[in-house]
Structure 1
Amino acid sequence: MSRPAAPEALAEPTERAGRGWTASLSLANGAIWVGWYGPLQILLALQAAELAPPGTAKESVLAWVTGAGAAVSMVANPLFGALSDRTASRFGRRAPWVLAGVLGGAAALVLLAGAGTVPAMALGWCLVQLTLNAAFAAITAAVPDRVPQRQRGAVGGWVGAAQILGVVAGTGLATVAGGVVAGYLACAGFVVLGALPYVLAHRDPALPAARRPALTWRAVLAGFWISPRRHPDLGWAWLTRFLINLGNALALLYLLYYLRDVLHRPDPDGGVLVLTAVNAVTLLGTVVVGGLWSDRVGRRQPFVLGTGVIMTAATGLLAGWQTWPGALCAAALLGVGFGVFTSVDFALMTEVLPAAAHRGKDMGLINIANALPQVAAPALAAPIVQHLGGYRALYCVAAAVGLLGALLVRRIRGVA
């Protein structure tokens, strides 16, 4: 008796994704990042300064609000990924969650614009993280749903480029809109308009109800643990991503203080802007090229290992060549390394997923390896700078952590 064919939603894709689909997916991805980074870069800080109670530092308010949002993000991403895996709508598994997420995110940004107290601000930001992570989890899972392995490096590159541009666009909208309220409204409008072409113009593969996994909280929560013993490639790939992202976060966390206290730059704020621009230019210049190159040669590991070495060298420059030209070179190298890593590692991650039925949840768990370093880096960096050798020691530790992550990619057996 022959085995029935897998439904399209659970099949391994074989046809190349079209340019229109890739463009709309990238635009939607960038729009979600506008909704995150307009607030994170500009608006939340301004709002914290306005709403901080007397005697409470605005920095403490901002840290508390963003920390609460980060905690929501790490739970929401795999949770909504799991729910999208189980969605048997005629509109597909992912599209309903993308639409609901961006509409909810826009509404949450509007609510955040009207926050008059710190608790209301925290609630609004947590709702932004909850809803936009629902959309992000679904749209990330669409790549292994729709893109064959031989094309995932290129698509990952375009998605990575869109995310970087989303950060820039969100910062720009928040800056030029004309105030906190107008900034939030501008970001909310961009989130919706940027996601609509993907939702409206492309058919999302539907999951037949008969093939839907069990939709119970016990089944959903049980799936949050993926045994590294049963799926070692996924475990090593997750650890590689976590360590390289942690090394990058450690390198960038105290950049302003490094310029002010170590290099004694007269305008450290402007220096950070220059270094950020250099980093962004080299990152954008390599993120798509690296993914295309990886697809062409059919290999991922050498690229991840090579970019880890490049980023280690860049961080080593901050430790050993403590001058302004050294910082410029480090920023450029970090951009080159992280650009290629962003696209190639994304493709690698999609190739170690255990099962098509759980792509959304599994990609959500993988995304924790991006978010968790942002929480861990401050806890590690502060004692190193204050008690264990200062900035030279910090950048040596960052280099070692990133290099370890790159070397561990060699433990992956199922992806070349």
Structure 2
Amino acid sequence: MTAVAATQPQARVGNGWIALLSLANLGLWMGYFGPLQVLLPNQVEDIAGAQKTTALGIVTGVGALVAVLAGPIAGALSDSTRLRTGRRHTWIASGAVVGLAGLALLPHQHTVAGLTVWWCVAQAGLNTMQAGLTAVVPDRTPVRQRGLVSGWVGLTQSLGVVAGVLLVTAVVTGLVSGYLLIGVLVPLTALPFVLATPDPPVGRTPRFTAASLWSSFRFSVRRNPDFAWAWATRFLVQLGNAMATLYLLYFLRDRVHYEHAEDGLAILIVVYTAATVLTVVAGGVLSDRSGRRKPSVIVSGYVMALACLILAVWPTWTGALVAAVVLGLGFGVYLSVDQALITQVLPTEQDRARDLGIINIANSAPQVLGPALAFPIVAYLGGYTVLYVIVAGVTVLGSVLVTRIRAIA
């Protein structure tokens, strides 16, 4: 089956639409990373003490499993929606509200089980919101602009990490105020996009039934090999990312012995984001102009692997700063160009949100598998040095397999 990107009648999208989409994505990624990078690790450490790595793996792993389920289901529902509130906007808004509810209730939990439940609620809401936001890009953006739009969306992902961490370390202190601030910002940043932009035209919509629920999680590898390879490469790169970043706060505290690990994490994220800014939009624009996506994705993967090797062989504060710069330069290109590539290999036009939900499994499933793989490596099989060497290998493998995609240059 040919990729749906071959037929694109959309008119060029304007800067205002891109800005509002980027703002909504900024709130989404703050909702993810403010808790994941600072709030959850600290709360888990307060609750579980010496068992913090195991407990954090449980909370984030179960939450990621919920994300695996929520993304494709929300995408399929969005594809089938004919409500006046909008095919995509309905799910963007409802997901933002559910995400707020989950985040607002997290600081009041005092057990690992309670944290797990409400992090799952937050994940379900955020992934529902993400299903709508990712689908509007191929809905409304012509192929010749997808690198540009994906670049700006990718930039907001990086800025979301910085903003989320700075908000809960420098602007407010305490779990209650941190979670609540992040939670409120999620719907506030989504609201302008929902209210001020047109929802994509409905056209032909698939019918969502109980029988179609299973189809939300499957596709034909034989009929859509490029989509399958795109999924596999995204999965491997995100697996490496999940294994590397989950314990980053603990890495600074326990291996680098940085005195104020939270402040150090914030500094690293700012440095990483500054490097990402240099390449994320430019990488997408250059791939639009050249019409070639794969070379940029492959090289960016090698650069990210190099950053992991730096952490493995140079576990010092200076090494961490250098790795943050290298990682940012590589990840910036990867964010924009890989996403643009994926939108060009989607199997069907009418199931875009569902198919992007399946791609989101490649983002979320590593959050389940990553802790399971990283914990024994850190605890029993050589520590952080071995962990980052393995992560580099996984990332390189994901980059090499991009060559298997045939329909895209």
Aligned to 2:67: 73
The partner residue of 2:33 within 37, 45, 68 is: 37
Q: Which moved more, 1:321-330 or 1:21-30?
A: 321-330
Please give the per-residue CA displacement for 1:276-298, whole angstroms capped at 9, x wherever unaligned: 33222111221111111111111
Aligned to 1:375: 368
Tell me if structure 2 keeps the 8 A contact 1:13–1:146.
Answer: no
Shift of 1:215: 1.7
Q: Which moved more, 1:325-334 or 1:301-310?
A: 325-334
Counterparts of residues 88-107 of structure 1 (less than 5 Å): 88-107=82-101
Shift in CA distance, 128/49, structure 1 to aligned 2, threshold 3 Å: same
2:392 partner letter? A
- Distance in 1, Cα, partners of 2:53 & 2:308: 27
- Tell me which structure has the larger Cα radius of gyration: 1
1:202 partner letter? T
SS in 1 for 2:373: helix
1:185 has 2:202 as partner:
no
Please give the per-residue CA displacement for 1:27-58, whole angstroms capped at 9, x wherever unaligned: 111112222333333433455466x48x9956
1:336 has 2:329 as partner:
yes
Counterparts of residues 310-349 of structure 1 (less than 5 Å): 310-321=303-314, 324-349=317-342
1:35 partner letter? G
SS in 1 for 2:220: coil
Please give the per-residue CA displacement for 1:356-415, whole angstroms capped at 9, x wherever unaligned: 111101101111212222332333234444555554433332222211111111110111
SS in 2 for 1:92: coil
Tell me if structure 1 keeps the 8 A contact 2:57–2:372.
Answer: no
Shift in CA distance, 385/110, structure 1 to aligned 2, threshold 3 Å: closer
- Distance in 1, Cα, partners of 2:371 & 2:51: 18
- Distance in 2, Cα, partners of 1:385 & 1:182: 32
1:97 partner letter? W
Please give the per-residue CA displacement for 1:173-209, whole angstroms capped at 9, x wherever unaligned: 334335333333322321121111111111112325x
Shift in CA distance, 306/186, structure 1 to aligned 2, threshold 3 Å: same
Q: Give unpaired runs (5+ residues) of structure 1.
A: 1-9
The partner residue of 2:22 within 11, 26, 31 is: 26
Aligned to 1:136: 130
Shift in CA distance, 103/324, structure 1 to aligned 2, threshold 3 Å: closer
1:172 has 2:166 as partner:
yes
Shift of 1:253: 4.4
The alignment yields a C-alpha RMSD, in angstroms, of 2.8
Q: How many residues align?
A: 403
Shift in CA distance, 194/390, structure 1 to aligned 2, threshold 3 Å: closer
- Distance in 2, Cα, partners of 1:60 & 1:388: 15
2:274 partner letter? V
TM-score by length of 1: 0.87
Q: Which moved more, 1:333-342 or 1:309-318?
A: 309-318
2:338 partner letter? D
1:338 partner letter? F
- Distance in 1, Cα, partners of 2:268 & 2:18: 30
- Distance in 2, Cα, partners of 1:402 & 1:60: 24
SS in 1 for 2:211: helix
- Distance in 2, Cα, partners of 1:389 & 1:116: 32
Tell me if structure 1 keeps the 8 A contact 2:94–2:129.
Answer: yes
Q: Give unpaired runs (5+ residues) of structure 2.
A: 1-5
SS in 1 for 2:345: coil
- State the identity as a percent: 51
SS in 1 for 2:221: coil
- Distance in 2, Cα, partners of 1:121 & 1:390: 27
- Distance in 1, Cα, partners of 2:257 & 2:104: 41
Tell me if structure 1 keeps the 8 A contact 2:161–2:269.
Answer: no
Shift in CA distance, 107/248, structure 1 to aligned 2, threshold 3 Å: closer
- Distance in 2, Cα, partners of 1:47 & 1:384: 23
TM-score by length of 2: 0.88
1:184 partner letter? Y
Q: Which moved more, 1:230-239 or 1:87-96?
A: 87-96
Counterparts of residues 7-406 of structure 1 (less than 5 Å): 12-45=8-41, 47-48=43-44, 52=47, 61-115=55-109, 119-175=113-169, 176-208=171-203, 211-255=204-248, 270-321=263-314, 324-385=317-378, 388-406=381-399
Aligned to 2:3: none
Q: Which moved more, 1:218-227 or 1:266-275?
A: 266-275
Shift of 1:118: 5.3
- Distance in 1, Cα, partners of 2:38 & 2:253: 21
